[in-house]
Amino acid sequence: MFMEARERMDWDFATPVLFRQLPCLSQAAGCSPVWLQQRLAGGVFAAGLLAEMTDGGGGFRTVANTWVSYLTQGRGPEMGEGNGPLTVGFGARTDPAEASDTIGPEYTFGLRMREAVDGPILIIKTAWGGKSLHTDFRPPSAGPYELNEQEQEAIAKRGLNVDEEAAARRERSGAFYRLMVEHVEKVLADPARVVPGYDPQQGYELAGFVWFQGWNDMVDGGVYPDRGTPGSYDAYSDLLATFIRDVRRDLKAPEMPFVIGVMGTNGPIDNLEPRYQPIHAEFRKAMAAPAKLPEFQGSVIAVQTAPCWDMRLDAVAKKRDALNGRKRQLEQAVNKGEISQDDAAAELAEIATELAAPEIQGLWDRAASNAAYHYFGCGKTMALIGQAFAEGLQSISRDAR
């Protein structure tokens, strides 16, 4: 199963259930707009994976014999389900039931799985933005989340009732885990509702699960007060291992292959600002740790997504940030009367010209649609991540057989 992220590209994934008559996979959301053919023309990517994504007539392929059931939330409070053949449009959505112009990893994931599976494939995808494992997807066996002493002190300082806040957190614990499992069970109770021609006599196999999430845990200094120090995210590792066990138990698939998509925002660790490097490094280590447990050998794999980060786009983002930072400095200096508008005008004009240059604004318009913590909303990045997840799942599935 595969869970996703939201806003053009920021969802948490938790479910591809690949389904062989049906293998079953669960996934995460994604916010990469699909103007990919214009955005990604040229280069090795366009000649390879992008060519496989497109249909030769200006559109995108619909993947044969592959379907998606997608539970998500649009711009409003209501949950909704979108079903259909796998193509673009199963990324972040304004209306859960209506196709969008975005993709998550599910699209290329399905393309690659299609090559490896003879029969029908169903991807059951659940995706919501801004969710944590420590609370929102907390597995049942971990029990409800209990506020630590530091969190209680912070709540009291804000003048809030600690007991009420603790009760509300316990109530929220695992809410999205339950939504995910309930949706999978609903789909599998009647696969023909999503997969035309499904043969109940042939049955199905839950062939894999993909988990792709992490930001809201990594940045939570209340839950993880020692962020960035050795072992500071060990609790996340423990929770994720419990999550894997509980998912397998609740879906009655004790050996189901499981892919952990290790968060890779900002690419290589040394590409981050020095103050953030230990935080990201320790969290990535914690995400990957369950795959090393003896009980999961041969059935759980950690797939690093940092290599899918677009370094050329990263360089453009840093250049834009530097230019916009200098622009703000000049504007503030003018407002404070430290320099005159005339004195600032020439440099501001130079900054405007640089920002509008094709190698900066042109590339940004083609390739980005969101912030760095949403992988820039870059379709190329999502496509490469989906492919990596499929290759990871295939590797452990081969080992298991």
Q: Are 125 and 16 in contact (CB under 8 A)?
A: yes
Q: Identify the three-state secondary structure at position 321.
A: helix
Q: Identify the three-state secondary structure at position 248.
A: helix
Tokens of 377: 């909303």
Q: For the beta carbon of residue 97, count every other beta carbon within 10 angstroms.
A: 13
pLDDT-derived band at 59 (thresholds 50, 70, 90) equals confident
Distance separating alpha carbons of residues 37 and 40, to the nearest angstrom: 5
Q: Are 128 and 176 in contact (CB under 8 A)?
A: yes
The residues, ordered by sequence, that sit 6+ positions from 367 with a Cβ below 8 Å of its Cβ are 39, 40, 310, 313, 376, 378, 379, 380
Whether pLDDT at 89 is above 70: yes
- Residue type (1 letter), 382: M
- The tens digit of pLDDT for each residue in 232-290 reads 999 999 999 999 999 999 999 999 999 999 999 999 999 999 999 999 999 999 999 99
- Percent of the chain's residues with pLDDT above 90: 72
- The tens digit of pLDDT for each residue in 100-150 reads 888 899 999 999 999 999 899 999 999 998 999 999 999 999 999 999 999
H or E element, residue 303: strand 300-304
Q: For the beta carbon of residue 222, count every other beta carbon within 10 angstroms.
A: 13
Q: Are 246 and 141 in contact (CB under 8 A)?
A: yes
CATH superfamily for 4-139+174-310+378-400 is SGNH hydrolase (3.40.50.1110)
Q: Are 84 and 364 in contact (CB under 8 A)?
A: no
